[in-house]
Amino acid sequence: MTLSVIMLALVLTGAIAWWAERHWQGSAKWLSLLGLTLLATVFAVFITSANHDFAQLQVLTRVMWIATFNIEYSIAIDQLSILLIALTWLLAIICVLISWREIKHKVGFYYFNLLLTVAGIIGVFIAVDLFLFFFFWEVMLLPMTAIIAIWGHENRRFAALKFFIFTQVSSLLMLVAIIGFAYFHLLQTGLLSFYYLDWRALPMPLAMSQYLMLGFFIAFAVKLPSVPVHTWLPDAHTQAPTAGSVLLAGVLLKTGAYGLIRFVIFLFPEASVQFAPVAATLAVVSILYGAKMAFAQQDFKRLIAYSSISHMGFVMLALFAFNSMAYQGAIVTMVAHGLSSAALFCLAGMIYQRIHSRSLIAMGGFWRSAPRMGGFTLAFACAAFGLPGLGNFIGEFLILVGVFQVQAEFAIVAALALVASAVYGMVLFQGSFQGPAKCEVIDLQRREVAICSALLLLLLLLGCYPTLLLKFSFGG
Amino acid sequence: MLLASVMLYPLLSFLFLVSFAKKLSWPTVATISVASIGLSALASGLLVWQLSASDNQLLTVTLWHWFDLNSHSGSSAVNIGFYLDGLSGVMISVVTGVGFLIHLFAAIYMKADKNFARFMAYMNLFIFAMLILVLADNLVLLYLGWEGVGLCSFLLIGFWYQEKSNVLAARKAFIVTRVGDTSMAIALFLLFSTFGTLDIELLSSVLPVINGADTDAVLDDKLYWIALLLLGGAVGKSAQLPLQTWLPDAMAGPTPVSALIHAATMVTAGVYLIARLHHVFLLTPEVMHYIAWLGAITLLLAGVAALAQNDIKRVLAYSTMSQIGYMMLALGAGAWSAGAFHLMTHAFFKALLFLTAGSIIYALHHQQNLFKMGGLLQKAPFESALFIIGLICLMALPGSSGFFSKEAIIAQLWSSDTAGPMLWWCAILGALLTSLYSCRLFFLGFLGRARFSAPIQAEKHILLRAALVALAILSLLGGLIPLELSLVFPNSVVLASKNEPSWLHTVAILTPFIGILAAWLYFKPYRLASSDNKQVLGMHNGKLAQFCQQGLGFDSVYNTFIVQPYMWLAKRNKNDIFDQIMMLNTWYVGLWHDAIIMVQNGSLRWYLAAFGIAILLLTGVILL
Amino acid sequence: MTTIPLFHVLILSSLLFVIGFIGVVARKNTLFILMSLEVMLNAVGVAFIGAGSVWQQADGQVMFILILTLAAAEVAAGLALLIRMQKRYHSLDIDLLNRMKG
């Protein structure tokens, strides 16, 4: 019940912030920040006070919603969803902080959209009725599109449309698969059901499950994203406002990974095993192709966007290796990539605010005037190319060791990305901060230093003491 | 806990300097950064003493549990833990001892730089990472240090980041070594999936058991690949063929960096890695053989390249490559202790050479070109004396530290199973080359008449000179330091001289002198060069000389076959082919849109005509 | 008196209708289009009258009067529009009115 209230409160906070901004300028950001922190605390208290370790999926609420189709409002959490929700809270707060000065028009509506997206994301992580899941999936999408389309950069309409169409078409496939599954349930048991745990209990012939799995897989692969359906991401990331990019890279991509774990692998274990070679190949191609494309970019944000494709390729590779270590690595990578790419997008936003350009050609030699910014960029670029001691390394290392035990060839080819990622990392850092100074920039302000150092500390903690994360069992 | 504190000091100093870089004055920064390394050096001295006193010659400490690696057979913990034995004892002494002296030198040498605090912070971070590398008790932690020193090397090469060439040199160094690192990472995966652990001590205990059992072909094959991939990592870091191209360019960094990272410590990490995992290599004689050959070839090629360099630092860089070639040769021949010994003495005299070269460069107003030096023997006698000491060690003239270590290597080559007479001759030829290029360097820089006009402005700070003198003493007497590594390398493959010809040692000792004699005669123009001697430059314009000067063509080969294709691919596909395929859908929809719009032309008469035709057709269809 | 066969009447009516239709489609001047429209209406009228006389029923004639009325109303509205059009575009070219272009 608490979780539903939290989600509702998020939407309400957003609405109040929208309303308040009309009457008192500048109140929306404070309200959103306050609301998010408060609700995050409530969430933390709720989780810690629960006398349950959430190793297995713990159903919290089950209420009939649309009785005709036996659709329920049912939510449940386990450690995986708790972890991702925690990441969502953190990044949502950072999103508010990073938008502090950046958003100038329709401020109230902006925060409303932001909070609505966060609510939708949290909903996605906790819904266990597939129809409800689909509902939240769409809830999360619409305000995100609005954020890109209204507050984005020069080519925002196009990017928002592209994002919307890709996600819509793919989620249509998922809807078909959901209805197909529910109908199959009806045929087998005489009862229409959208309930996740019912579905897991349902035996299914392989041929049938292959088709249904494909529907889910495509939807999540688009979200993840994986080559060849990744092409919405560079545009959306590049054009979105900073907070939009942070939320997109930090959490929205993780909903794809979450979906792959929760729905593809757990609902269709056999079909996934059969499908694994294809998925792993796609993943490896994503890893290398993303890294190669990142190298070719001259747009700061676009480069990070392509590097995200590369990193999420690691996650997909790990998930389809069916190895516990690779799986742990995937979890760590999800969190670490959430932090590091969010940080890089924040820095991109900070640079954009200063020089009004995202082009690496316009950058160079910033280190002289902004050493703190340079230090942070270097640290996060290092995280991105997997420097040991930072979180991403643990994730990638576990993934590669795990995958190596199962399919050595895939791990070896994926390991080539270590070189390729260093190459784009160098381009990113050296292109912007080294070389002859193109112009002077103001160094980071206190608020910005706070954001960056919080993220860096978390990455360091994750890199040096990953036990915090690894002790979760994540339900097998 | 003392073991952990060795690396704590540099880390604390780094954190402090990074946090308050802009607000600190020179004395504070210098004191903190140098003192932290000094403390480390003291601690490591204490540790080495403790080590020799302890029973099993082993000290370990585990700080915390890092993560677990699970295999089919069970899980193996990876800890943040450290492990000190004879080999790592040598390494930490070198790293902190030489590191301390270089820090001392750097604190004065870099005094005027605006970013002095940042420089010292990087140096401290480097020492921290290097200590982790050599003390790590498992290969993952070693990899952390390994990447850490790579990062510091990158940062320090690109320290003067406003120069485009420095930036590119830094990038090159990082990426080329990263290629080796990737090979090493794959080796780790393979090691783990084969043996189920990455703990160095556990590995060494697992391996002989396997060796004792009937060796099966699959395991042999795996071991072969593990050793080869590890060698790949070592080759990248230690600037051996074929990944050596980054080292000469790395000289773009400040001179203390070249001394610390690119001569004394980091580049020997590859040697350390192989020595550390000698258990693995002992099981794969073929790979040992490759190492020996790789070392020998690098030794010769680098020696040849050093003969053609103009830049004093680049001569020393190639000389470093060549000396590490010796170490590799020693490792390949199974002369583990000799390799480690040469690593240590080389650290002393190469640091001395680099630092002295730095002083000279500074005194000549940042002039690095040998052809613009000359006559320094009179103008800067103190530096010259030190440089001569360094060169004597480099040439391994009897009595110097280089002599002891190099002779130790050469003596074991002939009868080694994995080396043999061929490689012995390579080593002798290498020694000849070494004395040739050393003499050439000396003649050009120190003899003849001065070819520069600006007055010398030597830095005479007492601490700077003290650091140099300390290094000179170490270089001269370092050969007398007893290295007790028999516990680390128990099963050395080298058998005591079996049917060795009696003239071996004589030849080995005489070679440097022959080299000096040859140089004396051949490089006569250099020796007597005056300010307007065209002959000096004339010797240098041959095609061959240029080829050698540019590093024997490796760079251009890599450029043509790897860098350019990758750049081309990146450039051609800048717009993402998949995106373009996806956008075909848009184009297709647009096409239909256009087609339909054409019908909707807004002209009533057209609508009416269409209407009429349609009725006609419909009636026709209905009627017929 | 020989009765004209219905078939002939229908041929005449169809011809008139087609002539009118072609006039509507081919003419650019709106005035002529209106006139062609009249021709088409009258073509229908001829068909009604022909049919009425063949079956000896008054419906055909009633229909024709209805069409006449309609035509008169249509001409009134049409001419009013024509005047507006002349005022606005200074031309009676029907192709100027293509705001519905997609």
Burial class (CB in 10 A: 0-12, 13-18, 19+), A280: buried
Q: Are residues A374 and A443 in the same domain?
A: yes
Residue in B with minimal Cα distance to C18: B612
CB of C81 less than 8 A from some CB of B:
no
Q: Do chains C and A touch (3 or more CB pairs under 8 A)?
A: no
Q: Which of A388, A404, A436 sits opposite B189 (nearest CB)?
A: A404
- Average pLDDT on B65-76 reads 78
- The SS3 assignment for B68 reads strand
| Contact B574/C at CB under 8 A | no
At B534 the pLDDT is 54
pLDDT given at position A309: 92
Task: Note the pLDDT tens digit of each residue in C30-48.
Answer: 899 899 999 999 999 999 9
In a domain, residue A231? The reply is: no
List pLDDT tens digits, range B208-262. 655 555 566 777 788 888 888 999 989 988 888 888 888 888 888 888 888 888 7
Q: Give every CB contact of residue A81 below 8 A, 6+ residues apart in sequence.
A: A125, A126, A258
B-chain residues near C100 (CB < 8 A): 600, 602
Whether C16 shows a pLDDT value over 90: the answer reads: yes
pLDDT at B209: 56
Q: Tell whether A260 is covered by a domain.
A: no
Report yes or no on A130 lying in a domain.
yes
**Claim to verify: residue A197 and residue A344 sit in the same structural domain:** no
Q: Report how many Cβ contacts below 8 Å link chain A to chain B.
A: 128
In a domain, residue A232? The reply is no
Best-predicted range by mean pLDDT (A9-18, B54-63, B526-535): A9-18
Q: For all residues of chain C together, what is the average pLDDT?
A: 88
3-state secondary structure of B375: coil
- pLDDT over 50 (residue B418): yes
- CB proximity C19 to B under 8 Å: no
B425: helix, strand or coil:
helix
CA-CA distance, A225 to A32, in Å (whole number)?
A: 29
Does any CB of chain C come closer than 8 Å to the CB of residue B209? no
**Span A134-175, pLDDT tens digits:** 999 998 889 999 999 999 888 889 999 999 998 898 889 999
| Total domains in the fold of chain A | 2
Top-level class of domain C9-91: mainly alpha
How does the average pLDDT of chain B come out, rounded? 82
pLDDT tens for each residue of A404-422: 888 888 989 998 888 889 8
Residue C10 contacts B, CB cutoff 8 Å:
no
pLDDT value of residue B208: 60
Of A325, A430, A470, the CB nearest to B171: A430
Assess if residue A238 is contained within a domain: no
A222-245 mean pLDDT: 89
Spatial neighbors of B218 by CB under 8 A, at least 6 apart, are none
pLDDT at position B540 over 80: no
Q: What is the pLDDT of residue B533?
A: 55
Question: Do residues A460 and A383 make contact, with C-beta atoms less than 8 angstroms apart?
Answer: no
What pLDDT score was predicted for residue B530?
Answer: 61
Chain B nearest-CA distance from A407, in A, is 11
pLDDT band at B575 (very low <50, low <70, confident <90, very high): confident
User: Is A234 part of any domain?
Assistant: no
pLDDT of residue C41: 92
Within-domain flag for A227:
no
- Nearest by CB to B602, from C21, C25, C98: name it: C98
For the ranges A34-43, A229-238, B234-243, B538-547, which has the lowest average pLDDT? B538-547
Q: Which residue of A has its CA nearest to B197?
A: A401
Q: What is the pLDDT of residue C102?
A: 62
How high is the pLDDT of residue A476? 45
Average pLDDT over residues B598-619: 85
Query: In this predicted structure, what is the pLDDT of residue A475?
Result: 47
A119: region left, alpha or beta (phi > 0 left; psi from -120 to 50 alpha): alpha
Tens of pLDDT, residues B339-364: 888 888 888 888 888 888 888 888 88
Contacts of B602 in chain C (CB under 8 A): 97-102
Residue C66 scores a pLDDT above 90: yes
Partner-chain contact C25 B601, CB within 8 Å: no
Mean pLDDT, residues A341-368 taken together: 86
Spatial separation of the C-alpha atoms in residues A288 and A286, rounded to whole Å: 6
Question: Is the backbone peptide bond immediately before B242 cis, with ω within 30 degrees of 0?
Answer: yes
Q: Which residues of A touch B179 (CB under 8 A)?
A: 419
A29 and A169 part of one domain: yes
Q: What is the mean pLDDT of residues C92-98?
A: 82
In a domain, residue A161? The reply is yes
More confidently predicted of A273 and B508: A273
- Taking only the tens place, the pLDDT of each residue in B86-95 is 888 888 888 8
Domain ranges of chain C: 9-91
What's the pLDDT score for residue A67?
Answer: 84
| A94 token code pair | 């950072």
For residues A375 and A475, membership in a common domain is answered with yes
Domain that holds residue A299: 268-476
Nearest neighbour of B147 by CB, restricted to A367, A388, A404:
A388
Task: State residue B210's pLDDT score.
Answer: 54
Please, which pLDDT band fits residue A64 given cuts at 50, 70 and 90? confident
Long-range interactions of B522-529: CB distance < 8 A, separation 24+: B522/B436, B523/B439, B523/B440, B523/B443, B526/B440, B526/B443, B526/B444, B526/B447, B526/B448, B527/B443, B527/B447, B527/B448, B528/B447, B528/B448, B529/B374, B529/B443, B529/B444, B529/B447, B529/B448, B529/B449, B529/B451
Residues A80 and A157 in one domain: yes
Residues from chain B that touch C27, judged by Cβ atoms under 8 A, are: 605
Q: Which B positions 9-28 lie with beta carbon below 8 A of chain A? A: 18, 21-22
